[in-house]
Amino acid sequence: MKLNIRGQNLEVTQALKDYVEKKLGKLERYFDTPPTNDAQVTLSVNKDIQSVEVTIPMPSLLLRAEERNTDMYTSIDLVLDKLERQIRKHKTKVNSKFRQEGSLRTLFKDNFEATVPNKPLHEEEEDDMEVVRTKRFTLKPMDIEEAILQMNMIGHDFFVFSNMDSEEVNVVYKRSDGRYGLIEPAK
């Protein structure tokens, strides 16, 4: 797997580059054939927070993880753990849903389960995918600014609303940089 490593507000030293390549190189054991597209790795520093973002594009699948910590090497270790969990989840999901050949199933090795000494995969998948609460509410038509105000009033990180301009369901959310984002359906 080829890695495109770049720094944001940070000079990527050879030691950091080697560490990222060594850690993310461990992911290759999960794939029958390494991804053909380059994996994007962004190392950044904002105040005292060291963050790592990794995006691995694959056919019909996008693996992405982000971690923040006060230590860059710890962030890299944590992002590797997240990516491994994502791969295990996708592998379990693919095995249970797609039993035919030629599907996503062929992206991952069949015997990688042995490399993970924790609990069995099916138990982990069930634990992570359980819905523990369901809420129902009426979507009031409003503009984006009102939705942000409502979100801030209730103290949540996101807010679902009916956009009065587009007449579609949208989501506003608070980004980690303190600004706001909007999710709307593709047309």
pLDDT recorded at residue 107: 55
Fold of 141-183: SHC Adaptor Protein (3.30.505)
- What DSSP line would sit under 117-168, residue for residue? -SS-HHHHHHHHT-----------EE-HHHHHHHHHHHT-SEEEEEETTT-S
3-128 CATH pick, 3.30.160.100, 3.40.50.2300, 3.40.50.1970, 2.60.120.10: 3.30.160.100
Q: Report the pLDDT averaged over residues 59-73.
A: 85
**pLDDT digits 0-9 by tens, 107-140:** 555 555 444 444 444 444 445 678 888 888 788 8
Predicted TM-score (pTM) of the model is 0.56
More confident residue, 121 or 142: 142
What are the domain boundaries of the chain?
3-128, 141-183
Is pLDDT at 169 greater than 90 in this prediction? Answer: yes
